[in-house]
């Protein structure tokens, strides 16, 4: 079990620690609902150092990333971030990821913690085709980088105290390399996974203690609190953001998952599974990932059957919870396209009972 650079702080603060993706991680501190509302209304800090980071460098870096990812990397400029995925060559998804363009020959790929080894093997297997040397132009920095996600409507105001570089007006999905809390070459980005604004701070492990203390000192006047992974899940689910392993995996295509917006079929862009997805788009999808809210009383959970009115299973819940911001039970799951339109009636089987639900548009939480 791996620890992050911040584990000692979580333990000292009395966090409930659990194994997650091979790491010893805090799932909650003061309680999921309290922590959820802190992020929605103020500012909270997540340790996301378990995420993976791969550097891609050199004259062929662009071609490599463009081929391996579904989105159009040519749309990026220095300081811009892109949400994307690795198609797996079989119609599914290796992982979803963030692509940071540092410059035209340098990219940072940020991948999910549970998939670091799988993603690294996938990227490494394609390196030689683009003249990249594994360990040099393609470099796995996951064990060297710590990351905090400072989230909430007051996050950027609080963090502005720690840098002279303007950050409060940063656009969504951009980043800056700056001096932060006296530490040089920190990457601060604004991608977010909570729907409440904020930033991510990437630093070297050796700078983690200094930055952790500075972040909490700067945020004290704003009521800053550490937040566990439990609230991170309810926050992302209220936004309808996919979680790898739940809502997307090696058997779900980006189009089925509603990720057509990160799947670009430009003539100049060749990428893994392009032909498969073009055919899927032309022939129509048989199933789609939908969001739903419960009408009858009950909380949907992953793997609960989604049924028609006769009790026939037509799909499966991929994520579900009682949404703290909405006071409603919500979920996501794959269903036939015939029942994927908003207001379509579906039923969730919970402990042997068919409970009524309806399809709704993402996001669940409108802010």
Can you tell me the distance from the alpha carbon of 280 to that of 274, in angstroms, rounded to the nearest whole number? 10
Could you tell me if 122 and 231 lie in one domain? no
Q: What is the pLDDT of residues 68-103, one digit of tens each?
A: 999 999 999 999 999 999 999 999 999 999 999 999
| 120 assigned to some structural domain | yes
Q: Could you tell me if 232 and 149 lie in one domain?
A: yes
174 CB contacts (<8 Å, ≥6 apart)?
79, 80, 81, 189, 190
In this structure, what CATH number is given to the domain that contains residue 157?
3.30.1360.120
Rounded Cα distance, 354 and 127, in Å: 50
Q: Tell me what percent of the residues of the chain surpass a pLDDT of 90.
A: 100
| Averages of pLDDT over each 10 residues, the chain, 367 residues | 97 98 97 98 98 98 98 98 98 98 98 98 98 98 98 98 98 98 98 97 98 98 98 98 98 98 96 97 97 98 97 98 98 98 98 97 94
Instruction: Give residue 318's Cα distance to chain centre.
Output: 15
**29 and 163 housed in the same domain:** yes
Of 172, 203, 238, which residue is a domain's last? 238
CA angle 274, 86, 290 (to 5 degrees): 85
Same domain, 106 and 156: no
Could you tell me the CA-to-CA distances from 99 to 27, 73, 84, 95, 205 in Å, in that order? 27, 8, 7, 12, 21
- The answer to the question of residue 21 being in a domain is yes
Any residues with CB less than 8 A from the CB of 219 and at least 6 apart, and which? 43, 45, 150, 154, 155, 158, 159
246 with 302: CB under 8 angstroms? yes
Does residue 138 lie within any of the structural domains?
Answer: no
Alpha-carbon span 254 to 271, nearest angstrom: 13
Q: Is there a single domain that holds both residue 97 and residue 183? A: no
Strand 345-350 versus strand 305-307 pairing type: antiparallel
Residues 342 and 204 in one domain: no
Query: What's the domain range around 67?
Result: 52-132
The CATH number that applies at residue 335 is 2.40.30.110
Per the domain annotation, does 36 fall within a domain?
yes
Q: How far apart are CA 96 and CA 82, in angstroms?
A: 11
Q: Within 10 Å of residue 288's Cβ, how many Cβ atoms?
A: 20
- Domain match, 310 and 169 both: no
Residue 232 lies in a domain: yes
One domain, residues 33 and 178: yes
- Structural domain contains residue 260: no
Q: Is residue 22 a part of any domain in this protein?
A: yes
In degrees and rounded to multiples of 5, residue 307 shows phi and psi of -125, 165
Confidence at residue 367, expressed as pLDDT on a 0 to 100 scale? 81
Nearest CA among 349, 232, 326, 272 for reference residue 67: 272
Place of tokens 């032909």: 275
CA dist list (Å): 352 to 272, 297, 307: 42, 14, 12
Of the residues 132, 162, 197, which one is the last residue of a structural domain? 132
In a domain, 203, yes or no: yes
CATH of the domain at 59: 3.30.70.1400
Pair 37, 184 in one domain: yes
In angstroms, what CA-CA distances link 15 with 45, 59, 201? 13, 45, 21
- 17 and 74 together in one domain: no
pLDDT of res. 362: 97
> Are 31 and 82 in a shared domain?
no
Residues 95 and 155 in one domain: no
| Peptide linkage before 295 cis (omega within 30 of 0) | no
- Structural domain count of the chain: 3
């Amino acid at each position: 079990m791996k620890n992050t650079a911040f584990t000692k702080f979580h333990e000292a603060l009395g966090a409930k620690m659990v194994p997650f993706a091979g790491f010893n991680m805090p799932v909650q501190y003061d309680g999921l609902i309290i922590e959820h509302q802190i992020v929605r209304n103020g500012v909270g800090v997540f340790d996301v150092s378990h995420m993976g980071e791969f550097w891609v460098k050199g004259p062929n870096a662009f071609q490599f990333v463009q081929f391996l990812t579904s989105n159009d990397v040519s749309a990026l400029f220095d300081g811009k971030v892109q949400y994307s995925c690795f198609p797996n060559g079989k119609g599914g998804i290796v992982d979803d990821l963030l692509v940071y363009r540092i410059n035209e020959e340098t990219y940072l790929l940020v991948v999910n913690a549970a998939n670091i080894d799988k993603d690294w093997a996938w990227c490494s297997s394609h390196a030689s085709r683009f003249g990249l040397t594994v360990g040099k132009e393609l470099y796995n920095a996951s064990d060297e980088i710590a990351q905090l996600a400072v989230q909430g409507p007051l996050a950027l105001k609080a963090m502005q105290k720690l840098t002279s570089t303007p950050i409060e007006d940063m656009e969504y999905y951009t980043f800056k390399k700056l001096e932060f809390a006296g530490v040089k070459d920190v990457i601060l980005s604004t991608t977010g996974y909570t729907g409440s604004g904020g930033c991510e701070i990437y630093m070297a492990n050796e700078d983690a203690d200094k930055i952790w203390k500075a972040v909490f000192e700067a945020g004290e006047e704003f009521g800053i609190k550490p937040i566990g992974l439990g609230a991170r899940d309810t926050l992302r689910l209220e936004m309808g953001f996919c979680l790898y392993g739940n809502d997307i995996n090696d058997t779900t295509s980006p189009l089925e998952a509603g990720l057509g917006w990160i799947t670009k079929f430009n003539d100049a862009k060749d990428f893994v599974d392009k032909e498969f997805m073009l055919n899927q788009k032309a022939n129509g999808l048989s199933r789609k990932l939908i969001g739903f809210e419960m009408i009858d009383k009950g909380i949907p959970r992953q793997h609960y059957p989604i049924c028609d009115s006769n009790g026939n299973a037509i799909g499966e819940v991929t994520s579900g919870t009682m949404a703290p911001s909405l006071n409603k039970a919500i979920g996501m799951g794959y269903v036939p396209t015939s029942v994927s339109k908003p207001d379509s009636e579906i039923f969730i089987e919970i402990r042997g009972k068919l409970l009524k639900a309806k399809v709704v548009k993402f996001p669940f939480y409108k802010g």
